[in-house]
Amino acid sequence: MSSTTTETRSERAEHEALAVLKKVSADTLAFPPDANANFDGSKYQRIQLTVDQFRFYKKHGWIKIPKILPPEDLKEINDHLDRVLSGEEKIPGIEIDPNLSHKDKQSLFSRIHQLHRRHPLHEKYLLHPRVLDVIEQLNSPDVLALQTISFFKEPGQVGQGYHQDSYYICTLPDTLIGAWVALTPATEENGCLWLSDGSNVEPLYPHDTREHTHNNKKLDGIFNVQHPSRFDENVNELFKVGKTYTEVAGTADAGDAFFFGGNLLHRSHTNVSKDSSRRAFTTHYCDARSFTTWDPDEAGEGEATNEKNILARGDTHLPFGKPRFGMPVELKRRMFKNSVAMPIDGKMATSNLTMNQKDEH
């Protein structure tokens, strides 16, 4: 870790001690694989979390669920991403220079956002039943699916500095939860995720005037942070908060997933390996009963965008979108008798919601 030039010697010593002492491996804290990891039998064995796992998530702000994706799913998505990079498979809006090497292509596309709006496979993995099982049990039975990101991190490529995902994705009330799924092994060397253990209790630090953060008018003692997400600790002011927590190394085998809440501080480091490229597929969800303004296709804040995001499980009294490519979702009418049905696709929601959304609603 680097240290600022203005640090005193004792501050630097403290900083260095923290850097050494406050790192533990996720595997010392995470739950071991269980029967859910057995993929024999039906296509997807559903995930049943325990009360202890729920408590762990609430206390630490994150949880590792090993083997969430079976090997055949990993192959499907990795082969697809390889075909996209090679130019064999075209996705509207993604232009690949065929003259670049495979490595350079991966470096160029260090992250691709929101392909679930353009490609069925990304929608499939956004709405993967085993991922949704966990989201439903940790967060809410009513799940609105908001975002996908494919991450490629080649040797030499930098990571992302401390940040809180809820800053970027506004949900009111804040019910954001992310799933980070390793598509290749993630090691400390190749730039795994680092989670600030227990930092889920932190407020949402403001960077500007965004209303949905705990801005300094509302919470005494909160400060504006400059340059969150920047890799340089001397510039990213969330480091002041991050360094007070134990950091957990999110090492993972391909197919393992980390789930964490929107206020949890996390970051990742540079891939310092010689030849290990690291891939991950990240998805975000909120309680479908939260209002959201999330729509990266139209930057800006203020307008509700619930209907642009997909209702993946359960029910909501708010507008919602349907899967564009027809991935099945399990919806369940759970409105109270006298609740107000909101307009959905210009119609009033009156009929029961069913599996696969075959019915009009």
- 195 beta partners: 248, 266
Interaction between residue 105 and ligand AKG (CB under 6 A): no
Interaction between residue 148 and ligand AKG (CB under 6 A): no
Which residue's beta carbon is nearest to the bound ligand AKG?
A: 268
Alpha carbon distance 79, 85 (integer Å): 10
227 φ/ψ sector (left φ>0, alpha ψ -120 to 50, else beta): left
Interaction between residue 139 and ligand AKG (CB under 6 A): no
Residue 1's CB is within 10 A of a number of other CB atoms, namely 11
Asked if residue 319 lies in contact with residue 332, where contact means CB atoms within 8 angstroms, the answer is: no
Nearer to ligand AKG, 61 or 191 (CB): 191
Specify the pairing of strand 177-182 against strand 278-287.
Answer: antiparallel
Minimum CB–partner distance for residue 51 and ligand AKG (Å): 27
Alpha-helical regions (H) of the chain:
9-21, 26-29, 51-60, 71-86, 102-108, 120-126, 129-138, 165-168, 239-242
Minimum CB–partner distance for residue 132 and ligand AKG (Å): 18
Nearer to ligand AKG, 160 or 357 (CB): 160
Nearer to ligand AKG, 178 or 261 (CB): 178
Asked if residue 57 lies in contact with residue 259, where contact means CB atoms within 8 angstroms, the answer is: yes
Alpha carbon distance 106, 109 (integer Å): 5
Nearer to ligand AKG, 60 or 266 (CB): 266
Q: Which residue from 171, 190, 251, 268 is in contact with ligand AKG, where contact means CB under 6 A?
A: 268
- Applying CB under 6 A, which part among 69-77, 152-160, 169-177, 322-330 lies near ligand AKG? 152-160
**Which residue is it, tokens 């630090």?**
205
> Phi, psi at residue 259, to the nearest 5°?
-115, 135
Minimum CB–partner distance for residue 150 and ligand AKG (Å): 10
Tokens of 204: 């949402």
Minimum CB–partner distance for residue 168 and ligand AKG (Å): 9
Alpha carbon distance 154, 103 (integer Å): 7
* Per-residue interface string for the shown chain with ligand AKG, residues 272-311, x marking contact by CB under 6 A: --------x-x-----------------------------
Which residues 247-266 are close enough to bind ligand AKG by CB under 6 A? 266
Interaction between residue 160 and ligand AKG (CB under 6 A): yes
Q: With CA atoms as reference, report the closest residue to 126 among 148, 150, 141.
A: 148
Dihedral, CA of residue 276, residue 193, residue 295 and residue 222, to nearest 10: -150
- Applying CB under 6 A, which part among 137-145, 153-161, 200-208, 330-338 lies near ligand AKG? 153-161
- 3-class state of residue 346 by DSSP: coil
- Applying CB under 6 A, which part among 63-71, 158-166, 321-329, 345-353 lies near ligand AKG? 158-166
* Per-residue interface string for the shown chain with ligand AKG, residues 174-193, x marking contact by CB under 6 A: ----x-x----------x-x
- State the residues that interact with ligand AKG by CB under 6 A: 151, 153, 159-160, 165, 178, 180, 191, 193, 266, 268, 280, 282
